[in-house]
C-alpha cells in the first residue's frame, strides 16, 4: 500500500486528501498545515478523519487552545510517507522540496510552482510515461489540465497541428476576498501561460491564446479552435469527446446554460463541496470553421487537477506502466466516467 501525505490543507489540499482516501491502493498518512484555518477547524468538527501534522511547531499552542489534535510535525509526516502531494502557496513548495530531498522522498507540486521545481511537467493523459520513476513532478494549472484533456483527446484520435484558445477566467475561488469585488473585465497579454504550458507538455502542437479575467467564482470557460491534420466533422469530434472519462459532454438544451448550472448540478449530485473532477464540454459549441474544429469547455478550478495528481503518484512510484492502466485505476476509484452511455 502506497503511503501518501498532503502538505497544505487549502482549496486543493482538501480535495487531494479526499481523492487519495478514495484510492483503494493508497493510504493517506495525514495532512499538514501551519495554522488553524477554517478548513482545519472544519476537519476537527468532522471528527478528524485525517491525521494532522504541524508545519510550524511554534504554532502548537493555537491548536491546543482549540482542541485540535496534532499527530506530529511536518518532518515526521514526510518520513512516514512514500510520496508527498504539496498543495502549498506558490513558492512554499520550492522551499519544502529541500525537506523532501533530505529524506529522499518523492513529491508532486501543483501548478503555482515554477516548472524548475520538478523533473517533469506532468499530465496524466498527455505524458504519463515521462513521469515514470521520477522523484519530483509538477502538475499543470487547472485551466491547462482541462485544456490538455480535450486537445489530447482529439490529437490521439485525429492528430492536431495547432490550437488557439480564449480563456474566460474566474477572478477568485469561492470564499476568497483578496482580489476584491469587481464589476469589470481585465485582459492579459497574449499568449496566455496555458497555451505556452500546453506546448511544453505537447511540443508537437503550436498553441496561442488570450486570457480574460471575469468577476465570477464558479469555474473558467475556455473556447478552443483546433486545426487538425485531417478535417474532423462536428459529429466525429463529439463522439470522440463522449468516450473520454474525464470529459462530460453536456447540452444547453438540457439546461446547462453555463458555469453556474454545472456547479449547481454537482451539488444536486451530492458531490462534496459541489466539486466536479471532470471538465464539461457543450455539445452545441462544437462547430466547424473551415478545416478547424471549435468548442467550449468548463473548468471546475477547485477539483479538476485532482485526478491528474493521483495519476502522478502512480507514475512516480511506478504503480502502473502506462497511461491507460494508470488513468483507468484513478478514474475507477474517483467514480469518473459513470455518465458515459455504454
Question: What is 2-140+305-334's CATH superfamily?
Answer: NAD(P)-binding Rossmann-like Domain (3.40.50.720)
pLDDT at 175: 67
Residue among 278, 258, 248, 240 at smallest CA distance from 146: 278
Helix axes 142-158, 193-201, angle to 10 degrees: 50
C-alpha span between 86 and 1 (Å, rounded)? 20
* pLDDT value, residue 178: 64
Q: What is the pLDDT of residue 180?
A: 65
User: Counting Cβ atoms within 10 Å, is residue 333 exposed (0-12), middle (13-18) or buried (19+)?
Assistant: middle
> Which pTM was predicted?
0.94
What is the grid cell recorded at 295?
Answer: 468548442
pLDDT of residue 340: 87
pLDDT at 254 (0 to 100): 97
Bridge partner residues of 107 (DSSP):
84, 136
CATH assignment of 142-299, among 3.30.360.10, 3.40.50.2300, 3.40.630.30, 3.40.1050.10: 3.30.360.10
Low-confidence ranges of the chain (pLDDT < 50): none
Bond before 191 cis per omega within 30 degrees:
yes
| Integer Cα distance of 129 and 104 in angstroms | 21
Q: What is the pLDDT of residue 184?
A: 84
Determine the pLDDT at residue 246: 98
pLDDT score recorded for residue 22: 97
Q: Where are the domains of the chain?
A: 2-140+305-334, 142-299
33 labeled part of a ligand binding site: yes
- Residues serving a catalytic function are 142
Amino acid at each position: 500500500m502506497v503511503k501518501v501525505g498532503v502538505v497544505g490543507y487549502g482549496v486543493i489540499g482538501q480535495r487531494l486528501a479526499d481523492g487519495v482516501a478514495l484510492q483503494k491502493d493508497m493510504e493517506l498518512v495525514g495532512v499538514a498545515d501551519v495554522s488553524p484555518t477554517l478548513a482545519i477547524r472544519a476537519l476537527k468538527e468532522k471528527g478528524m478523519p485525517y491525521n494532522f501534522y504541524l508545519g510550524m511547531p511554534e504554532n502548537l499552542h493555537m491548536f491546543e487552545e482549540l482542541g485540535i489534535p496534532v499527530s506530529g510535525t511536518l518532518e515526521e509526516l514526510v518520513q512516514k510517507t512514500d510520496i508527498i502531494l504539496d498543495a502549498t502557496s506558490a513558492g512554499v513548495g520550492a522551499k519544502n522540496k529541500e525537506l523532501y530531498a533530505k529524506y529522499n522522498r518523492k513529491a508532486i507540486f501543483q501548478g503555482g510552482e515554477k516548472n524548475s521545481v520538478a523533473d517533469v511537467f506532468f499530465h496524466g493523459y498527455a505524458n504519463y510515461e515521462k513521469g515514470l520513476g521520477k522523484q519530483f513532478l509538477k502538475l499543470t494549472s487547472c485551466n491547462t489540465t482541462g485544456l490538455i484533456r480535450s486537445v489530447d483527446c482529439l490529437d490521439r484520435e485525429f492528430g492536431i497541428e495547432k490550437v488557439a484558445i480564449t480563456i474566460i477566467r474566474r477572478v477568485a475561488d469561492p470564499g476568497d476576498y483578496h482580489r476584491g469585488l469587481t464589476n469589470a473585465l481585465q485582459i492579459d497579454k497574449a499568449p496566455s501561460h496555458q497555451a505556452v504550458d500546453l506546448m511544453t507538455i505537447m511540443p508537437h502542437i503550436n498553441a496561442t491564446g488570450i486570457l480574460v479575467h471575469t468577476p465570477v467564482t464558479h469555474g473558467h470557460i475556455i473556447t478552443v479552435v483546433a486545426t487538425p491534420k485531417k478535417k474532423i466533422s462536428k459529429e466525429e469530434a463529439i463522439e470522440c469527446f463522449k468516450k473520454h472519462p474525464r470529459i462530460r459532454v453536456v447540452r444547453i438544451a438540457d439546461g446547462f446554460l453555463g458555469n453556474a448550472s454545472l456547479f449547481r448540478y454537482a451539488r444536486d449530485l451530492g458531490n462534496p463541496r459541489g466539486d466536479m473532477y471532470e471538465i464539461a464540454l457543450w455539445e452545441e459549441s462544437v462547430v466547424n470553421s473551415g478545416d478547424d474544429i471549435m468548442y467550449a469547455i468548463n473548468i471546475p478550478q477547485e477539483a479538476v487537477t485532482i485526478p491528474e495528481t493521483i495519476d502522478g503518484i502512480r507514475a512516480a512510484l511506478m504503480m502502473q506502466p502506462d497511461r491507460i492502466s494508470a488513468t483507468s485505476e484513478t478514474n475507477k476509484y474517483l467514480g469518473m466516467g459513470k455518465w458515459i452511455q455504454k
